[in-house]
Amino acid sequence: MSKVIAFAGKGGVGKTTVAALVLRHLTGKKNGPILAVDADPNSNLGETLGLEVTSTIGDIRETYMKDPQGIPSGMDKVNYLELLVEQALIEKPAFDLLVMGRQEGQGCYCMVNNILNNFTEKLSAHYAYMVVDNEAGMEHLSRRTSGKVDMLFLVTDYSLRGLRAVRRINSMLESLKLDVKNLAILVTRGPEDLSEPFLKEVAEINLPIAGVIPNDPELLDFDMEKKSLLELPDNSLSVQAVAKIMNEYLPT
């Protein structure tokens, strides 16, 4: 079973950027194959990695629901859907990427979801690590990892609004029946010394701060130049911050 590292937080706090930076860290360690999963409907993990995404799990689900009888002759629906998932998997030398994509439309998706969920879980068993960029609600996480998460980072920028979103996400964990081994807050675009009001809010949430990723001008430069964050230099401020966090919370 792969080690699951997941990220959740409200939109705009840098969650996807952090997921890409953690993926960069893990690929540099070369401790086994890695599956990156973009489970945010606003899918842009591929962009931060310099990859073009042409098919998602959501696309597969909608295509099947529009024409359930459109299965090739001699193939059952389970094998057909599993084949489509394999074709949607973006395979790179250091990692593979699977994008969940759009949310469900109208109608009953139970059967097709069960097939897709079972296959993605079987797929993840072939990887040493699974890095999951989640939507704030984390429904994908609860459905596709048997509820077991080795490290869940609740990501916030340096704002009280971001922290309050973290509080709400933390409060819903029990209802999602997630088995989280390690749970911590990760702060993006923060100063070296966090303010008293910020730390007071953190104390009320009662979770540790895994670390702070400072403002890194190189992140903006890479975004403007449409360059993969995997190409960031080792001396990048954000790369060094993530390495410190990972070495403490998930040493490899």
Q: What is the CA radius of gyration of the chain?
A: 18
Q: What is the pTM of this model?
A: 0.91
Instruction: Assess whether pLDDT exceeds 90 at residue 1.
Output: no
Q: What is the pLDDT of residue 243?
A: 97
- Amino acid code (one letter) for 166: V
Give me the pLDDT at residue 196, please.
97
Query: Is 121 a member of any domain?
Result: no
Domain of 241? 3-48+90-102+126-249
Position 23 in a domain: yes
- Asked if the model's pLDDT at residue 219 lies above 60, the reply is yes
Specify if 118 maps to a domain: no
Q: What is the pLDDT of residue 146?
A: 55
Window from 37-41, 107-111, 192-196, 226-230 with minimum mean pLDDT: 107-111
Region 54-74 average pLDDT: 87
Higher-confidence residue of 178 and 104: namely 178
pLDDT value at 161 more than 70: yes
What CATH number does residue 172 fall under?
3.40.50.300
Residue 132 lies in a domain: yes
pLDDT at 18: 97
What are the structure tokens assigned to 236, written together? 């990048």
Residue with the larger pLDDT of the pair 39 and 138:
39
Confirm whether 236 is domain-assigned: yes
Where does the chain show beta strands of DSSP type E? 3-8, 34-39, 90-91, 96-99, 129-134, 148-157, 179-188, 209-213
**Domain annotation covers residue 74:** no
Asked whether residue 111 is domain-assigned, the answer is no
Count of domains in the chain?
A: 1
pLDDT at 123 over 90: no
> What mean pLDDT do residues 129-158 have?
80
Confidence check: pLDDT of 35 > 90: yes
Q: Extract the tokens encoding 78.
A: 């389970």
pLDDT, greater one: 128 or 136: 128
As a whole number of angstroms, the distance between CA 23 and CA 172 comes to 26
Q: 106 falls in which pLDDT band (50, 70, 90)?
A: low
Residue 211 has pLDDT above 60, yes or no: yes
pLDDT in tens, 3-14: 999 999 988 999
Quickly state the pLDDT bin for 102 (edges 50, 70, 90).
Answer: confident
Distance CA 103, CA 85 (A): 16
Those residues whose C-beta lies under 8 Å from the C-beta of residue 76, and which sit 6 or more positions away, are none
Helix residue spans in 30-149 (DSSP H): 45-48, 57-66, 77-88, 110-124, 139-144
Question: Across all residues in the chain, what is the average pLDDT?
Answer: 89
The pLDDT value recorded for residue 142 is 59
Q: How confident is the model at residue 34 (pLDDT cuts 50, 70, 90)?
A: very high
**Residues 50, 226 contacting (CB under 8 angstroms):** yes
Supply the pLDDT for residue 237: 97
Domain assignment present for 12: yes
